[in-house]
């Protein structure tokens, strides 16, 4: 791994999210949704601190756009239980694979991931 690639990888995994990302990696193979994702998909998603993102100020736990490889984790994300943080990571990885939602759908995606694949 080149130094540049190493730095990019580290920048895409904030310390506060390391454990949630590892937990999500174990949950992903269990997830059956409109869009399939697996552990390999998680490796190419970049996670950034979302403080300052408008959606975070509106109460989101994390933000991305369908098809995007960049996920912003909001300050509220850090205050959730480890299980919920992992489910949120899975939720966002599903979006990065193209899963769309409207606002009302958002909570049900996370709840379904949590119910089927949480501990």
Whole-angstrom distance, CA of residue 77 vs CA of residue 81: 9
For the CB of residue 64, give the shortest distance to Zn ion in the complex, in Å: 8
**Binding test (CB under 5 A) with Zn ion, winner from 16, 35, 106, 112:** 106
Determine the 3-state secondary structure of 44 from DSSP.
coil
Buried b (16+ CB within 10 A) or exposed e, 47-72: bbbbeebeebeeebbbbbeeeeeebb
The residue count for binding Zn ion (CB under 5 A) is 2
In angstroms, what is the minimal distance from the CB of 106 to Zn ion?
4
Count of residues making up the chain = 119
Residue 7 or 105 having the CB closest to Zn ion: 105
- Please report how close the Cβ of residue 101 comes to Zn ion at its closest, in angstroms: 5
Window of 4-12, 17-25, 35-43, 102-110 that interacts with Zn ion by CB under 5 A: 102-110
Instruction: Identify which range of 8-16, 23-31, 39-47, 96-104 contacts Zn ion by CB under 5 A.
Output: 96-104
Query: Residue 56 is inside which H or E element, if any?
Result: helix 54-57
């Amino acid at each position: 791994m080149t130094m540049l690639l190493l730095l990019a990888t580290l920048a895409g995994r904030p310390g506060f999210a390391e454990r949630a990302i590892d937990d999500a990696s174990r949950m992903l193979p269990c997830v059956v949704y409109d869009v399939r994702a697996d552990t390999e998909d998680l490796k190419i998603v970049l996670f950034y601190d979302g403080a300052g993102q408008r959606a975070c100020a509106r109460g989101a736990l994390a933000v991305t756009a369908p098809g995007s490889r960049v996920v912003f984790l909001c300050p509220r994300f850090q205050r959730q239980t480890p299980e919920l943080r992992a489910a949120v990571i899975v939720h966002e990885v599903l979006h990065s694979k193209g899963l769309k939602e409207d606002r009302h759908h958002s909570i049900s995606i996370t709840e379904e991931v949590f119910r089927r694949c949480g501990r």
